[in-house]
Amino acid sequence: QDYPSLSRIVVVSTISGGGLIAYSEANSSYTANGVVETGIKKKKVVLLGTGWAGTSFLKNLNNSQYEVQIISPRNYFAFTPLLPSVTCGTVEARSVVEPIRNIGKKKNVDTSYLEAECVKIDPKSKKVFCRSKQGLDSNGKKEFSVDYDYLVIATGAQSNTFNIPGVEENCHFLKEVEDAQGIRKTVIDSFEKASLPELSDEERKRILHFVVVGGGPTGVEFAAELHDFVTEDLVKLYPRAKDSVKITLLEAADHILTMFDKRITEFAEEKFSRDGIDVKLGSMVTKVNEKDISAKTKAGEVSSIPYGMIVWSTGIGTRPVIKDFMKQIGQGNRRALATDEWLRVEGCDNIYALGDCATINQRKVMEDVSSIFSKADKDKSGTLTLKEFQEAMDDICVRYPQVELYLKSKRMRGIADLLKEAEAEADDGSKKNIELKIEEFKSALSQVDSQVKFLPATAQVAAQQGTYLAKCFDRMEECEKNPEGPIRMRGEGRHRFRPFRYRHLGQFAPLGGEQTAAELPGDWVSIGKSSQWLWYSVYASKQVSMRTRVLVVSDWMRRFIFGRDSSSI
Ligand code: FAD
């Protein structure tokens, strides 16, 4: 599969105060400094977003034929896995962010940044329309447009409220650095408020009731961080609050951390129960009022729970600009932009999408799964031996690690059960028809809501996609000049791009009390203090710059020595 030729990459991010950059249509191009280089027509890439996907693309792009215009409302990259730590002051907000202008500084690629939000993408005129927070002229005009040769959409996603009444108005989200700072302030303010005189016990308990909605990795990590903050630091400073403080975790499914191995789920649930975190499973939130939250159990019982603060962490939804773009290109019924495996937005030329705002079309995945099964059927008899079936399944799980995660999760029957059943029926390794199992597997796969992202919405996926796309862009010119590759290489695909393949490197679930659960490739599960040290080293090594690495490590040391700071600023 050849990558199509790139002429201009557009990254959308934010406009930061500075003057606007002129966009050349003629055979001259403007560098980030406004210097005109005549005669060289650089390809203009507009990049929307300065998160994991956009930053990884930017860091890895290494070809002087491009001029990259970054557009994002946020002039920095934020290391989101540490946001739960920011909510409790384990790590400071400034330690997890890096200015995008630092990251974008490159010797061989012209990059410039505009602090603005992209509000509309027009693929017909190859323009993005943007709005800045600042007025651009004396009339306070805030809108402007930027044209592109290539557009890279990496705008991420927003918190999903499922349109439940009162969520938007009364809950904290945990998506941005400001959210984490807001939560930290609210927690400390709650303890101060609960210490005021003449409060009834009931009111004090309400104020100190912290509710977390959503038992995914972020909700669980936040509940664990908050528990540590309260028990290790706050109760020493607010001894009267000790008996009134409570943390509740509401989860609509039957278990928390369903995307993790069963052992991790069980350990987390037991640990939370020992820690006194009240985990209410099968509780679906129906409404949030100013002082109480209503939840319904599967049996239909509705309860109203008084709260002081709610953190809403139930997954992600589509940003308005992406919704609008999807409508324009006939993808209006989806939740994320469908791309092919080369990250090209389906039905568009020269537009790429990656990270949380995009998903690789599931239809392609299903075609792949079918072809793997047909390949495994070596004698074309229409039947598979158990061994062939197992090999095909391994192949599928390697290609699509998310299939394995789905199979393990409660959403579908476990692959192990499926194989056990097939094994029990197998007659001593002789040829066995397990077509039925394959059909079962395929139907289970197709039950996975076609709207669900086939790759997890994680920083790991976004960063790998950014690196992949940058490498494709780097080699684009070479491919255009030699579409069939150099003569000695023809037919071997040297100049052809491989489709994007995600490599799952494992996942962590910090559970508080210096204990972390780690699920690493090869079904390796480790829970406890040793995994916590692994977590520290992985997260220190993954920092985007030496500056943030030093800051984060010194924050951890500060916390070990002095505890967390409880000032409400
Ligand atoms: P983002 O990183 O969200 O970046 C989107 C960018 O687009 C931002 O710069 C934003 O300002 C910009 N933008 C938004 N709207 C517009 C617009 N209209 N125009 C232009 N720019 C726009 N993943 C893991 O792998 N491991 C973890 O431990 C982990 N922990 C997490 C903890 C928390 C609290 C959260 C919130 C997420 C966590 N994730 C984790 C998930 C991970 O952060 C996301 O999957 C990842 O950020 C997706 O990257 P992205 O580039 O697609 O989007």
CATH number at residue 400: 1.10.238
Task: Look at the block and give the residue holding tokens 């937005």.
Answer: 345
Is residue 565 included in any domain, yes or no?
Answer: no
Distance of CA 546 to the CA centre of its chain: 23
Out of 77, 80, 552, mutate this one to test ligand 1's pocket (max ligand atoms within 8 Å of CB): namely 80
The domain tally of the chain equals: 3
Tokens coding 227: 């528990």
Looking at ligand 1, which atom is closest to the CA of residue 56? 51
Rounded to the nearest whole angstrom, what is the distance from the C-alpha of residue 172 to the centroid of ligand 1? 17
* Protein residue with its CA nearest to atom 9 in ligand 1: 50
Residues 304 and 323 reside in one and the same domain: no
Percent of the chain past pLDDT 90, that is, above it, reads 59
Confidence of residue 11 (pLDDT cuts 50, 70, 90): very low
pLDDT at 24: 35
Residues 209 and 268 reside in one and the same domain: yes
Is residue 332 included in any domain, yes or no?
Answer: yes
The residue from 449, 478, 494 where one domain ends is: 449
Using a 6 Å cutoff on CB, does residue 356 contact ligand 1? yes
Looking at ligand 1, which atom is closest to the CA of residue 508? 28
CB atoms within 10 A of CB 367: 11
Calpha distance 509→504 (Å, rounded): 15
Is residue 519 included in any domain, yes or no?
Answer: no
Strands, E assignment, 157-221 = 158-159, 172-173, 209-213
Higher pLDDT, 437 or 181: 181
Residues 24 and 125 reside in one and the same domain: yes
DSSP for 376-414, written as a single string = H-TT-SS---HHHHHHHHHHHHHH-HHHHHHHHSTTS--
Domain coverage including residue 299: 167-315
Rounded to the nearest whole angstrom, what is the distance from the C-alpha of residue 56 to the centroid of ligand 1? 12
Residues 266 and 335 reside in one and the same domain: no
Looking at ligand 1, which atom is closest to the CA of residue 155? 7
Using a 6 Å cutoff on CB, does residue 218 contact ligand 1? yes
Using a 6 Å cutoff on CB, does residue 13 contact ligand 1? yes
Is residue 528 included in any domain, yes or no?
Answer: no
Question: Tell me: the pLDDT tens digits for 356-387?
Answer: 999 887 667 777 777 887 887 777 776 677 67
Confidence of residue 521 (pLDDT cuts 50, 70, 90): confident
Mean pLDDT within 74-97: 97
Looking at ligand 1, which atom is closest to the CA of residue 74? 11
Rounded to the nearest whole angstrom, what is the distance from the C-alpha of residue 246 to the centroid of ligand 1? 30
Q: Is residue 62 within 8 Å of 109, Cβ to Cβ?
A: yes
Residues 390 and 285 reside in one and the same domain: no
Which residues are 517's β-sheet partners?
509, 527
Least Cα distance to 308 among 218, 224, 161, 183 occurs for 183
Q: At 87, phi and psi to the nearest 5?
A: -65, -25
Rounded to the nearest whole angstrom, what is the distance from the C-alpha of residue 356 to the centroid of ligand 1? 7
The amino acid at residue 114 is: L
Does position 414 have pLDDT exceeding 70, yes or no? no
* Protein residue with its CA nearest to atom 4 in ligand 1: 51
Would you give the DSSP letter of residue 450?
T
Rounded to the nearest whole angstrom, what is the distance from the C-alpha of residue 61 to the centroid of ligand 1? 20
Least Cα distance to 6 among 277, 243, 234, 343 occurs for 343
Using a 6 Å cutoff on CB, does residue 458 contact ligand 1? yes
Is residue 431 included in any domain, yes or no?
Answer: yes
Higher pLDDT, 159 or 521: 159
What residue spans of 16-173 are helical by DSSP H?
52-60, 83-87, 100-104, 167-170
Mean pLDDT within 115-121: 97
Residues 58 and 175 reside in one and the same domain: no
* Protein residue with its CA nearest to atom 16 in ligand 1: 155
pLDDT at 455: 74
Does position 398 have pLDDT exceeding 80, yes or no? no
Rounded to the nearest whole angstrom, what is the distance from the C-alpha of residue 422 to the centroid of ligand 1? 41
Residues 475 and 436 reside in one and the same domain: no
Confidence of residue 340 (pLDDT cuts 50, 70, 90): confident
Would you give the DSSP letter of residue 184?
H
Residues 112 and 26 reside in one and the same domain: yes
The amino acid at residue 391 is: E
Q: At 337, phi and psi to the nearest 5?
A: -65, 130
Calpha distance 88→283 (Å, rounded): 26
Q: Is residue 2 within 8 Å of 45, Cβ to Cβ?
A: no
Residues 113 and 14 reside in one and the same domain: yes
Looking at ligand 1, which atom is closest to the CA of residue 466? 51
Is residue 85 included in any domain, yes or no?
Answer: yes
Does position 129 have pLDDT exceeding 50, yes or no? yes
CATH number at residue 248: 3.50.50.100
Confidence of residue 404 (pLDDT cuts 50, 70, 90): low
Using a 6 Å cutoff on CB, does residue 83 contact ligand 1? yes
Q: Is residue 78 within 8 Å of 177, Cβ to Cβ?
A: yes
* Protein residue with its CA nearest to atom 53 in ligand 1: 156
Confidence of residue 262 (pLDDT cuts 50, 70, 90): confident
Distance of CA 299 to the CA centre of its chain: 33
Determine which of 95-99, 202-206, 333-337, 344-348 has the lowest per-residue pLDDT on average.
Answer: 333-337
Using a 6 Å cutoff on CB, does residue 49 contact ligand 1? yes
Kindly report the average pLDDT of the chain as a whole number. 83
Q: Terminal CA-to-CA distance of the chain, rounded, Å?
A: 54
Residues 445 and 463 reside in one and the same domain: no
Residues 73 and 206 reside in one and the same domain: no
Is residue 381 included in any domain, yes or no?
Answer: yes
Using a 6 Å cutoff on CB, does residue 172 contact ligand 1? no
Confidence of residue 23 (pLDDT cuts 50, 70, 90): very low
Is residue 521 included in any domain, yes or no?
Answer: no
Distance of CA 7 to the CA centre of its chain: 28
Residues 390 and 423 reside in one and the same domain: yes
Which residues neighbour 403 within 8 Å (Cβ) at sequence distance 6 or greater? 369, 396, 397, 445
Rounded to the nearest whole angstrom, what is the distance from the C-alpha of residue 182 to the centroid of ligand 1? 18
